[in-house]
């Protein structure tokens, strides 16, 4: 791991503990997850206990300590999407990728995670991949959507 990258991130926030969330977000943007070595290095750089860092990292849903795939699939599990049959879409994606919700494919291509309401219920059922929103998703559309991401 390139610790200079971590140093740069820490320096950008003036190595303040109050900027911990921002630092962790930047690390995650870099590696797709929060690697242990990176957190250990942040502990030295900020001179704070590891427990403080992990307390924050395990509290917020956006952070993950396990490696994530290159693309993150968020399936909306909100009420409207549920009524519109998102569960079948989710099952279809699981079958297509051969993983369960919360897991990552072996080739690190996709991670599949549920999300509670994306706020665009008129498009239900909704699937979000990286920054792209797919509305009114049908089972037969799933594999074509997934093919767009390498």
Identity of the residue, 58 or 79, whose beta carbon is nearer to other proteins in the bound complex: 58
Considering the rule CB under 8 A, would residue 52 count as an interface residue with other proteins? yes
Region binding other proteins by CB under 8 A among candidate stretches 22-30, 45-53, 91-99, 118-126: 45-53
Smallest separation, CB 54 to other proteins (Å): 5
Judged by CB under 8 A, does residue 59 bind other proteins? yes
- Please identify which residue in 1, 3, 50, 108 interacts with other proteins, judged by CB under 8 A: 50
Q: Are residues 6 and 27 in contact, defined by beta-carbon separation less than 8 angstroms?
A: yes
Work out which of 36, 95, 138, 148 binds other proteins, going by CB under 8 A: 36
Give the whole-angstrom CA distance, residue 120 versus residue 137: 13
Cα–Cα nearest to 19, from 59, 41, 48: 48
Helix (H) or strand (E) holding 132: strand 132-134
What is the spatial distance between Cα 140 and Cα 88, in angstroms, rounded to a whole number?
A: 11
């Amino acid at each position: 791991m390139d610790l200079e990258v971590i140093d740069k991130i820490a320096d950008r926030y003036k190595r303040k503990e109050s900027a911990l969330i921002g630092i962790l977000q930047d690390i995650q943007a870099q590696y797709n997850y929060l690697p242990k070595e990176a957190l250990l290095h942040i502990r030295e750089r900020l001179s704070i206990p590891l427990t403080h860092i992990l307390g924050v990292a395990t509290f917020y849903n956006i952070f993950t300590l396990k490696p994530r795939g290159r693309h993150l699939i968020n399936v909306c599990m909100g009420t409207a999407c549920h009524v519109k049959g998102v569960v079948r879409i989710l099952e279809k994606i699981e079958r297509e990728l051969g993983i369960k919700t919360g897991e990552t494919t072996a080739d690190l291509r996709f991670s599949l995670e549920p999300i509670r309401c994306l706020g665009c219920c008129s498009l239900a059922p909704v699937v979000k991949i990286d920054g792209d929103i797919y509305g009114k998703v049908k089972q037969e559309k799933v594999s074509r959507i997934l093919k767009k991401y390498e």
